[in-house]
Structure 1
Amino acid sequence: MIGSTISHYKILEKLGEGGMGVVYKAQDTELDRTVALKFLPHYLTSDVTEKERFYHEARAASALNHPNITTIHEIKEHQNQLFLVMEFVEGKTLKKLIEQEPPSIKKVLDIAIQVCDGLATAHEKGIIHRDIKSDNIMLTPKGQVKIMDFGLAKVKGATKLTKAGSTLGTAAYMSPEQAQGEEVDHRSDIFSFGVVLYELLTTKLPFRGEHQAALMYSLINEEPHPIARFNEKITTELERFVSKALAKDRDDRYQHVDDLLADLRRERKNLEYAKTAHISTVQAPLAIPKKTGKKFLKYGIPATVAVLGLLLYVILNPFKVEVSTEKTVAAQKNSLAVMYFENIPDPDDKEHTGEMLTNLLITALSQARDLEVISRERLHDIQQELGLADAKRISSDRATEVAKKAGVEMMLMGSILQTQPKLAVTTRLIDVNSGRILQSQRLTGFGQDQIFAMVDSLALLVRSTLNIPTATAAETRSVAEVTTKSPEAYRSYVQGIDLLSKMLSADAKSPLERAIELDPDFAMAHFALARVAERVNDNETARKEIELAERLSARVTEREQLQILAFKYRLESNPRKSAETLEKLVDHYPHEQQAYVDLSISYSMLGEDEKAVQTCRRGLQRDPTMKLLWNMLAYRSAGLNRRQEALQAIDEYLKLAPGEPNPYDTKGDVYYAFRELDSARYWYQRAVAFRANFGSAQKLCYDALLRGDYAAAEKYRQEFGATADPVQKAFAEMDAAASMLVFRGQLPRAYQQLRSLLISHEAQNLQFNAFGDLVMLTVLAYELHDYPAMLDHANAASRIAHNDPDDPIYARDLVAWALAKNGNVRSAHQLLDEMRREITEEFPGLKSPVYYAAGLVAFEEGKYDEAARSFKNVRQLVWPMSDPDLHTAVSFLKIGDRDQAVEQLRRLTTTYFIGNVPLSLLFLPVPAYWPISTIKAHYWLGVAYEEQGKKDEAIKEYEKFLEIWRDADFESAELIDAKTRLKKLKGLALQ
């Protein structure tokens, strides 16, 4: 074939031949580019079913667009033979690389990271390679990896391969399930790549046999030799990665290639660190700033007196403090990181003693204005980035790496030598740059109930060593005074804040309540519980707890006082004051992570969206390990229609927290915002793999409803409701009626179930859920034309909300809509005027719901021009990518603006409620109108298409609408009209 031309491809040379065909290098004469042509075996065209299967798989593969996957340009047929037109890749296969020049560990990791990156993209699209081997992966001269032969991929859910097809691929690289002819999924690719990784590291295959049967036996039954036997440079971690990838049982393997990718990236970073750590350096001694006599009197004498006082104290008490220190040294920047205290007798720190000591020391030392102590949250995020998130013991070298990333001059490391009958602790204060130990201490004789006294002693010794002035009494208060006098209360508190940091809000509630039960005056426990309550939408509890925290705030540090005050303003819907307080907080404490998150939220509430994004960037510039800020930045970027920025932000979050469900959920939300629903579903499923009742389960329920998969929807609803949290459980109960029944058009049944749920939720004092029940009842009464009941429910919802002094709207927008629908337009306008007068600089968030309510009232009056103007005002105030709205779309249609109407309606047909501020419209009654609005969008889209003369499109939408509500137990105007219109259109189509 050399020299011949097929279609517009001139064959230049033969590149290779294998079991799945012959590959040629060719010139594309139309586009003037070099390509590769792969001619497939003849049996693919002789068998119609096999040919169709191949086309199906190849088309799916051709849609992949990733720098580490060979691009398939097109699929063609020549003289009854199929061939693929692919990107031409210069370089060598990994098989050739291994034979010619076995790669270094660094190069193996670089290659592996790229392969995993490519596979992750394919798996996200539901595509499995099924033939991963070193012959199918190319490496270019520039070091870029290219995975080849995705044209032979199998799409998940497609027909099972035939017996002949089941043995595709080289046997030595097959997964055990593939070798046994079983159905395979993406985990088969992970196993095959584990074989490649083993081969790269050892130049040998893990499973071998003299013939096919022997090889199959080895692959299914035998364990490979440890890779360290063949390569002494292999780390324990790398050996673990390969072993996990090669697990016989697919459930014991990495469940997603992203997880393997995260491990490989961490190992790559560790390798870089190990390389730099062995470079010898000569570090000058830390300079002691010259002091005037006056300054010495001011700072030096009090510190010296304090140390003498402490020594006299411990001599006269049954404690033992041994101090070994260099000459007193002043830190150049007075910045310190307190590393996690290793608990030697309890390595897993099950009693949280190490965690308590660490957190208490941070609190105690943070009282000094002249010392910046890095927060535990920030250090945790840095450790997570370095693969040390859950490490209870960190070596000095790794601790130094953490401290350098935190940008501090000093670090304090400690070990708990014993906990019974008395505590025994050693600590070392280390200069980060030189590695010099400035002070070492051993404290013994403190009982478990004297942990606060031990921390006070440690803190005072550290401050004296660093020459930190103790100018005010506030800065020398006992740590028990600024936290709690109960060690058990503090133990419960650290459990709670740890769970809260992992977004496990419902789980955090119990230990925090236990902490408050043990010490009702524990201010920061009240503050943490307020945060938990806000996250689970229990605003009543949030307000009660923040009031208690503020009342007790005189005893906490300045940093904590500002945190409490800012959060209180936010709960009071006063974002301006909240923003001002938070600006002060980040000015005084620039590394305070949560402050940037809350400040971004405040600016969002003020409608200053760009400022909200820039606040995230400010915080990340200070510290790129702030995972909450990456999360926030992802949402805000998505809300501003910046897809690439949003995905980049969430990928950074994933690198920091690969073992937590929230980043996967956020990535699903980002894809949802851009209506890439398959990708959204994939990431939500990744999130619930960590925790079945995570919030993603509710979104998967809604997604399944959109697809008409009611069984899957019910499964996810039940999983979401399988929780001890009564608020979340109540939401799942509400979904049984408000989502499951409504989606099937069974509105009367849903209405009756919600009335029963309302009684139950009120009896349990679940006011937030009762409020939600009433809003949904208002919407259902509207749809069922029971307008007096609609007004009754709206008023009842307003009464619940009116009990909340911090809610400036208290459902009056819902009441105005109900009044208008009942013909009481005058009262509706009076209520709107009342709300308009309350819009101030302090409460700008009132604008959107008031404009929206005005639009609804005008809509019910039939004043569609006025309604459209109000709804346009709303769109200017919300995030550009906020969800569409049915009343807005219908208003546009009524005034003849069909293009805008169609744009909103088309997007609405793929909308479900995710409850996120940048992406969802949260003012009433919009959240409760899902899924009615999504279903009715098909009807109105049919009307719009019909008006545009697009009959086929109109028929399709009417049929979809009638299909979804085929089991409807009520008759609406839209159902009647859709049937009439469809009959007429089909009659015209037949003429």
Structure 2
Amino acid sequence: MVNETVSHYKILEKIGEGGMGVVYKAHDTRLDRTVALKFLSDSFLENPTIKSRFLHEAKGASAIQHKNITVVHDLDEAEGKSFIVMEYVEGHCLTELAKAGLSLRRILDLAVQITEGLAAAHKSGIVHRDVKSENITVTPDGTVKIMDFGLAKLKGVTQVTGAGTTLGTVAYMSPEQAKGVEVDARTDIFSFGVVLYELLTGQLPFKGEHIGATLFSILNEHPKPPSQLNADVPAELDRIVLRCLAKNRDERYPSADVLLIELVAFKEGIRTPSSPSAPATPPVPSHRPKKFVLPSLVVTALLGVLVFFFNPLKIQISRDRGAEAYGHSLAVMYFENLTDPADREHTGEMLSNLLITSLSQNSGLEVISRERLYDIQAEMGETKNGTVSPALAGRIAQRAGVTTMLLGSILQTRPNLTVTFRLVDVQTGKIQSSHRLAGFGTEKIFPMVDSMAVLVSKGLDLGPDVLADAKSVTDVTTDSPEAYRSYVEGVELYKKLFLAEARAAFHRAVELDSNFAMAYFRLSLTDEMAARKKVLERAWQLRERVTEQERLQIEAAYANQIEYRPERAAEILEQLIQKHPRHLGAYEHLSHIYQSLGRHEMSVATLLAGLKVDTLAKSLWNLLGYNYAGLNQKRRALETIDRYLRLAPGEPNPYDSKGEIYFVFGDVDSANFWYQKALSLRADFVTTEKVGFNVLLAGRFEEADRYFTRMKASGDRETQEQGEYCRLTILMRQGRLLEARRTMQKQLARHEAEGLAAFLPEDLYCLFNLCYAIGDFPGMLSYAQRYSAWQMKDPTNKFYARHLLAWAHMRNGNRAEAYRLMEELKKDVCGKQPNWQTIFDYSLGILSLEGGDFEAASGHFKKALATQYPNRAPQFAYAVSLLQTGRLSQGIHEMERVTWWTPISTPVLSLNYLPQGVLWPVNSTLAHYWLGTAYEKMGNPERAREEYREFLRIWKAADVDTPELKDARSRLAKLEGLAAK
């Protein structure tokens, strides 16, 4: 078939052949891309049963959306031949790599990726049944691609000795395949064990002179532990491999997910607790490699993620670590302000935080954070009121698991401060030392803290080296008391997610001290999006003016957000966790990075590891709830958020989070109930926008406007401007698109006149999308060009809106320029950042959709969404592509979710960074039109009429007679005419 053309595919070369089919490299002349075509062998072409199963399996494989599974683009038939169109993957198969020899770390990396791919397939109900080294390719960038899902099931166990079956295939078979009995996902785990054994030893575990001898070996012989053939293999890895190869499938890992946890645990240098294993083997000396950081994920892998898989209803992790105190550990308790019991000027708070920061420089001392102590106090039912009795302080310190606590008081006789403090043994209550410092003015609080740190270090007998190495607290914070006071206020506000007030406090701090590194870093977490990079870069420049823990935080954020190197950021955070396992912020940030990389199981694992360290970490419970929601684990998500709510019943955010969890599962009424709970605690919380959007889609436009007007009344400029954008969504929902554009153009002019540059990119982006919705494609291109020019001012922005320019050129009939821009963009962004790849692939989908190639569009969208959470925001363009390619059930499901989905606060679920995100008020209305067309195709005229009527009702005041409006009126008239007859 080489050099022949089948459909619009030109066959270039034959690249593989098996018992059931043959694979060719081909050129897709329509989309100008290289693909792989998999044909059924001629001997099966007349067998309708085999042909039907072939097509069924290919459809099943195409439903798997995962980076480690080869993408299936299409099913086709030409000249009586059925074939599957797949992505063409360059690289080396594992057979070649096994012969070449790989490092243990590289093998483990490949093993984890293979298992992630199998886990995704099993969750989709697909069992590969032919996992072997030849069917696994590793691309030049190190990505694993599992192939042959389309043919795998055809190689049924009754075909073992049939034509074309090779010895290599038999060598990877499970015992149940060899026996010819029914198989399940555990057969893939066995075959994976064979592959891993081969990678570790260069040999197959089961061998024979002929097929029968190999089958006998699989059924009756136990392989040698890999360590007996490769001394570098640790005993723990022996156990994992041999459990995969257990003859009895009940003794293997119950699922690929559980296997994945153990592999990741081992890869990261984690020892797991004992679990059912393969038959006993002789003891093997341990040749454990250097630990690969992240030791605290031991809890994740076992305590945490085993809970995730085996204990869905009882998320219980040890409540406290009081019995686990070890070494030098200290809790700096509250300084009672004798002259200002309410500590209105935060003097006591400043003193405590500065002392913690100073003492945290000591590598031989573990200092418990203030947040941890507050959380323990709240869990004990004690309110934070500025004073804590010695007895209560002792109970808090015991719960924190520390050996020593520091109690103190402040006597303020302006302008002087007198501080008294004592070190107390937590277990015995014995005072170890007591001190009194006087004669320091309020402006001398920093030298006072330095003196206190010296006295504490001596009292704890930390040694002379600690004292010599310690920096003055001004060298790692600020020398401005007022700047630090603002910083402390900002941190407290940020914990409660009062972001506007926190942002203002951090701004005051850097205005008072332009070298305050941590204030810049905190500002990067709260500032307007356009300004975040700038302040983060400033924090990075000043990173030597912070403690080691804080420096690693800043460097990780810089690697992720400025250098766009998430893997490097993860390494830094793993280092931080290894050195400071109680640094809870590191777990949170690492979880976010794993989310961005599409490694959702590792995101969950990281959070559970942090919660093992501190079960009172509110932010980790919150983020874990969203992870479970994204993974479609509704019950776990709600139980987890309830844990968060019990820890912070007086804060609005837990109620807001619970509302969002209900929302992503489609329960909008329950979402609104919990949103209102949040607003009852704080009327101007971020929940205001979400409630406004929900009542907007319910058609209560005046009520929505009241919520958005409330945002405009905020004292925070960013919230005010967001209120303006929100009011614009009312016009968009009503189809008053020309009026919306005029309003937006006025807003752009106002921002330009007032010098509010931070808001200009969003103005231009909105206008670009509005022109598209109106059908003004020259205007669309003009705004895309202006938006791109603005983005080019940021040297770290590798896109500078070229994907939007390409879209605009496509709509203006310049297809060549559109694809030229995308080819240029591909060189700059692909393979460098997961989200970049997602945006690129999604944009290709939009171009294909605009060009009328709906099958290609569907493939691009599917690839873009493959690494996202299963329970993600619905995508309008993807839904259109599904309907246009005849995948009606799937398309209707996606489109129906478009009708009620509104933006939420979680980017990994809302995907608001994808093109068309701003058009959700328009698309949620157009969705009814498309549902009408789908129901017509399905022969359900009654449902079609309902959808057309709803579409026309919502857009009854539309000021643009769009093609959809015209077509809906025409279709409805025909359907009503038929109904009348």
Q: TM-score, normalised to structure 1's length?
A: 0.65
Asked if 1:922 is matched to 2:912, the reply is yes
Q: In the alignment, which residue of structure 1 is the partner of 2:800? A: 810
Instruction: Say if 1:758 and 1:770, in contact at 8 Å, map to a contact too.
Output: yes
Q: In the alignment, which residue of structure 1 is the partner of 2:159? A: none
Instruction: Say if 1:540 and 1:804, in contact at 8 Å, map to a contact too.
Output: no
Residues 474 and 904 of structure 1: is their aligned pair in 2 closer, same or farther, counting only changes over 3 Å? farther
Asked if 1:873 is matched to 2:863, the reply is yes
Q: In the alignment, which residue of structure 2 is the partner of 1:15? A: none
Q: In the alignment, which residue of structure 2 is the partner of 1:65? A: none
Q: Which moved more, 1:569-578 or 1:350-359?
A: 569-578
Instruction: Say if 2:791 and 2:797, in contact at 8 Å, map to a contact too.
Output: yes
How far 1:842 sits from its partner (Å)?
Answer: 4.2
Q: In the alignment, which residue of structure 2 is the partner of 1:978? A: 968
Instruction: Say if 2:903 and 2:912, in contact at 8 Å, map to a contact too.
Output: no
How far 1:340 sits from its partner (Å)?
Answer: 1.5
Match of 2:510 among 513, 516, 521: 516
How far 1:507 sits from its partner (Å)?
Answer: 0.5
CA deviations on 1:878-902 (whole Å, 9 max, x unpaired) are 1111111111111111111111111
How far 1:658 sits from its partner (Å)?
Answer: 1.4
Instruction: Say if 2:631 and 2:871, in contact at 8 Å, map to a contact too.
Output: yes
Asked if 1:413 is matched to 2:407, the reply is yes
Give ranges in structure 2 of 5+ residues lacking alignment. 1-324
Q: Which moved more, 1:420-429 or 1:784-793?
A: 420-429
How far 1:473 sits from its partner (Å)?
Answer: 6.8
Residues 910 and 791 of structure 1: is their aligned pair in 2 closer, same or farther, counting only changes over 3 Å? same
In structure 2, distance between residues paired with 1:591 and 1:600: 15
Instruction: Say if 2:457 and 2:467, in contact at 8 Å, map to a contact too.
Output: no
In structure 1, distance between residues paired with 2:455 and 2:326: 18
How far 1:526 sits from its partner (Å)?
Answer: 1.6
Q: In the alignment, which residue of structure 1 is the partner of 2:582? A: 591
Q: In the alignment, which residue of structure 1 is the partner of 2:935? A: 945
Q: In the alignment, which residue of structure 2 is the partner of 1:632? A: 623
Residues 404 and 586 of structure 1: is their aligned pair in 2 closer, same or farther, counting only changes over 3 Å? same
In structure 2, distance between residues paired with 1:566 and 1:456: 29
Aligned-residue Cα RMSD (Å) equals 1.7
Match of 2:548 among 549, 558, 561: 558
In structure 2, distance between residues paired with 1:746 and 1:818: 22
In structure 2, distance between residues paired with 1:932 and 1:975: 12
Instruction: Say if 2:895 and 2:927, in contact at 8 Å, map to a contact too.
Output: yes
Instruction: Say if 1:747 and 1:968, in contact at 8 Å, map to a contact too.
Output: yes
Give, as a single letter, the amino acid of the residue that structure 1 aligns with 2:787: A
Give, as a single letter, the amino acid of the residue that structure 2 aligns with 1:792: S
In structure 2, distance between residues paired with 1:389 and 1:829: 61
In structure 2, distance between residues paired with 1:799 and 1:645: 46
Residues 675 and 841 of structure 1: is their aligned pair in 2 closer, same or farther, counting only changes over 3 Å? same
Match of 2:338 among 333, 340, 344: 344
How far 1:818 sits from its partner (Å)?
Answer: 1.0
Q: In the alignment, which residue of structure 2 is the partner of 1:602? A: 593
Give ranges in structure 1 of 5+ residues lacking alignment. 1-330
In structure 2, distance between residues paired with 1:570 and 1:696: 28
How far 1:875 sits from its partner (Å)?
Answer: 2.3
How far 1:921 sits from its partner (Å)?
Answer: 1.9
In structure 1, distance between residues paired with 2:336 and 2:545: 29
Match of 2:658 among 632, 648, 667: 667
Residues 887 and 825 of structure 1: is their aligned pair in 2 closer, same or farther, counting only changes over 3 Å? same
Asked if 1:658 is matched to 2:649, the reply is yes
Q: In the alignment, which residue of structure 2 is the partner of 1:570? A: 560
In structure 2, distance between residues paired with 1:357 and 1:542: 29
In structure 2, distance between residues paired with 1:645 and 1:769: 39
Q: In the alignment, which residue of structure 2 is the partner of 1:725? A: 716
How far 1:522 sits from its partner (Å)?
Answer: 1.6
Q: 3-state DSSP class of the match of 1:694?
A: coil
Residues 332 and 865 of structure 1: is their aligned pair in 2 closer, same or farther, counting only changes over 3 Å? closer
Q: In the alignment, which residue of structure 2 is the partner of 1:844? A: 834
Q: In the alignment, which residue of structure 2 is the partner of 1:436? A: 430
CA deviations on 1:169-190 (whole Å, 9 max, x unpaired) are xxxxxxxxxxxxxxxxxxxxxx
Greater relative contact order (Cα < 8 A, sep 6+): 2
Instruction: Say if 1:575 and 1:842, in contact at 8 Å, map to a contact too.
Output: no
Greater C-alpha Rg: 1
Instruction: Say if 1:630 and 1:653, in contact at 8 Å, map to a contact too.
Output: yes
Matched length: 656
Q: In the alignment, which residue of structure 2 is the partner of 1:612? A: 603
Give, as a single letter, the amino acid of the residue that structure 2 aligns with 1:733: E
In structure 1, distance between residues paired with 2:839 and 2:610: 31
In structure 2, distance between residues paired with 1:397 and 1:840: 59
In structure 1, distance between residues paired with 2:491 and 2:410: 22
Match of 2:640 among 649, 657, 665: 649
Q: In the alignment, which residue of structure 1 is the partner of 2:851? A: 861
Asked if 1:548 is matched to 2:552, the reply is no
Q: 3-state DSSP class of the match of 2:589?
A: helix
Q: In the alignment, which residue of structure 2 is the partner of 1:353? A: 347
Give, as a single letter, the amino acid of the residue that structure 2 aligns with 1:897: R
Q: In the alignment, which residue of structure 1 is the partner of 2:570? A: 579
Q: In the alignment, which residue of structure 2 is the partner of 1:46? A: none
Q: 3-state DSSP class of the match of 2:907?
A: coil
CA deviations on 1:234-278 (whole Å, 9 max, x unpaired) are xxxxxxxxxxxxxxxxxxxxxxxxxxxxxxxxxxxxxxxxxxxxx
Give, as a single letter, the amino acid of the residue that structure 1 aligns with 2:709: Q
Instruction: Say if 1:516 and 1:525, in contact at 8 Å, map to a contact too.
Output: yes
In structure 1, distance between residues paired with 2:468 and 2:603: 34
Match of 1:381 among 375, 386, 392: 375
Q: Give the share of equivalent positions with the same residue, in percent.
A: 44
Q: 3-state DSSP class of the match of 2:438?
A: strand
Q: In the alignment, which residue of structure 2 is the partner of 1:936? A: 926
Q: 3-state DSSP class of the match of 2:437?
A: strand
CA deviations on 1:882-928 (whole Å, 9 max, x unpaired) are 11111111111111111111111111111111242232122342321
In structure 1, distance between residues paired with 2:463 and 2:392: 31
In structure 2, distance between residues paired with 1:469 and 1:564: 29
Instruction: Say if 1:422 and 1:445, in contact at 8 Å, map to a contact too.
Output: yes
Q: In the alignment, which residue of structure 2 is the partner of 1:528? A: 522
Give, as a single letter, the amino acid of the residue that structure 1 aligns with 2:927: A
How far 1:836 sits from its partner (Å)?
Answer: 2.2
Give, as a single letter, the amino acid of the residue that structure 1 aligns with 2:741: Y
In structure 2, distance between residues paired with 1:857 and 1:567: 33
Residues 842 and 785 of structure 1: is their aligned pair in 2 closer, same or farther, counting only changes over 3 Å? closer
Instruction: Say if 2:329 and 2:368, in contact at 8 Å, map to a contact too.
Output: yes
Instruction: Say if 2:409 and 2:420, in contact at 8 Å, map to a contact too.
Output: yes
Q: In the alignment, which residue of structure 2 is the partner of 1:29? A: none
Q: 3-state DSSP class of the match of 1:467?
A: coil
Instruction: Say if 1:694 and 1:720, in contact at 8 Å, map to a contact too.
Output: no
> What are the equivalent positions in structure 2 for 1:125-524 lying under 5 Å apart?
332-471=326-465, 475-524=469-518
Give, as a single letter, the amino acid of the residue that structure 2 aligns with 1:781: C
